[in-house]
């Protein structure tokens, strides 16, 4: 597949797609967004209009059948990721999927098997690996500009009035770890970059707000890696 012919379809037309994925894809040389899909047809219609697309879809199967896609970009809630990804890969379509990849290791394994069996690529959006500062940092470590890394400390802070937090009907509160299931992939994969495979040692949480649908507002996680300890706050 040539990068000059990357025909992209997007499933899930919410904030993540509109604020981040669509602007990024439009900057990729050779990539073309050719179709969008969302269970809310009014939403997919409004996004299609902004992109000057002639058609939009409410059903992924219909989009995969009618559009010749090279890549499906999945911007839907995590519970839907395995079904949508496998459906696309079985048609020979490469898949880019938002984090968290799936709700369990078993689901993730099924997605990986579908990728291997259909000989297509499956990529999870771990975008912070490609930030210039992070690329420079890991390069300095690997080239020996610093000593052995035996520990990392990462902090991920979000505003308390964020709609994801205050909206009790938001899908993140239905994840097993609530808000943390959505946010923790970023610091975890960054810690893995420096320390290798990680295993949890301890987790401390506390609740600060009065929102009864929020599991905890603050967490401190300690993980042991192959080359040292990671703390995530």
Which of 155, 156, 232 is closest to 198 using CA atoms?
Answer: 232
Same domain, 47 and 121: yes
Last residue in a domain, options 82, 108, 125: 125
Same domain, 80 and 7: yes
Give percent above pLDDT 70 in the chain.
Answer: 98
> For residue 4, what pLDDT band results from cuts at 50, 70 and 90?
low
Please give the residue range of the domain that contains residue 201: 130-232
Using alpha carbons only, what angle is made at residue 186 by residues 223 and 116, rounded to the nearest 5 degrees?
A: 95
Same domain, 199 and 116: no
> For residue 3, what pLDDT band results from cuts at 50, 70 and 90?
very low
pLDDT at 153 > cutoff 80: yes
CB 73 within 8 A of CB 62: no
Residue 36: its pLDDT value, please? 98
Calculate mean pLDDT across residues 138-147. 93
Same domain, 33 and 121: yes
| Predicted confidence (pLDDT) per residue in 167-224, tens digit | 999 999 999 989 899 999 999 999 999 999 999 999 999 998 888 999 899 999 999 9
Same domain, 118 and 140: no
Same domain, 17 and 92: yes
The alpha-helical segments, DSSP class H, found in the chain are 15-16, 22-25, 41-50, 60-66, 81-89, 105-118, 132-142, 163-166, 179-183, 185-195
CB 209 within 8 A of CB 160: yes
Same domain, 13 and 84: yes
CB 120 within 8 A of CB 95: yes
DSSP 13: -
| Predicted confidence (pLDDT) per residue in 38-95, tens digit | 999 999 999 999 999 988 999 999 999 999 999 999 999 999 999 999 999 999 999 9
Residue 15: its pLDDT value, please? 94
Same domain, 33 and 52: yes
Please give the tally of structural domains in the chain.
2
Same domain, 119 and 137: no
Q: What are phi and psi of 204, to 5 degrees?
A: -120, 130
CATH of the domain at 150: 3.30.360.10
pLDDT at 163 > cutoff 90: no
CATH of the domain at 49: 3.40.50.720
Please tell me the total number of residues recorded for the chain in this structure.
233
Calculate mean pLDDT across residues 146-158. 91
Last residue in a domain, options 125, 149, 164: 125
Residue 164: its pLDDT value, please? 81
Same domain, 38 and 146: no
pTM assigned to the model: 0.93
Last residue in a domain, options 96, 125, 154: 125
């Amino acid at each position: 597949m040539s990068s000059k012919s990357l025909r992209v379809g997007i499933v899930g037309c919410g904030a993540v797609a509109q604020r981040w994925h669509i602007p990024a894809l439009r900057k990729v040389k050779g990539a073309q967004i050719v179709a969008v899909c969302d269970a809310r047809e009014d939403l997919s219609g409004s996004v299609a209009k902004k992109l000057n697309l002639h058609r939009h879809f409410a059903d992924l199967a219909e989009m995969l059948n009618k559009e010749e896609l090279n890549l499906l970009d999945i911007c839907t809630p995590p519970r839907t990721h395995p079904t949508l990804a496998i459906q696309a890969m079985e048609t020979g379509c490469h898949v880019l999927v938002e984090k968290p990849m799936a709700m369990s290791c078993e689901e993730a394994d099924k997605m990986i098997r579908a990728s291997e069996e259909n000989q297509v690529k499956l990529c999870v959006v771990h975008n912070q690996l490609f930030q210039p500062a992070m690329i420079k940092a890991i390069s300095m470590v690997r080239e020996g500009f610093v000593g052995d890394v035996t520990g990392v400390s990462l902090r991920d802070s979000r505003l308390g009035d964020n709609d994801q937090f205050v909206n009790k009907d938001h899908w993140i509160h239905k994840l097993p770890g609530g808000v943390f299931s959505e946010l923790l992939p970023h610091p975890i994969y960054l810690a893995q970059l420096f320390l290798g495979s990680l295993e949890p040692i301890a987790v401390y949480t506390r609740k600060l707000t009065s929102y009864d649908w929020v599991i905890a507002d603050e967490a401190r996680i300690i993980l042991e890696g192959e080359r040292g300890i990671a703390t995530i706050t």
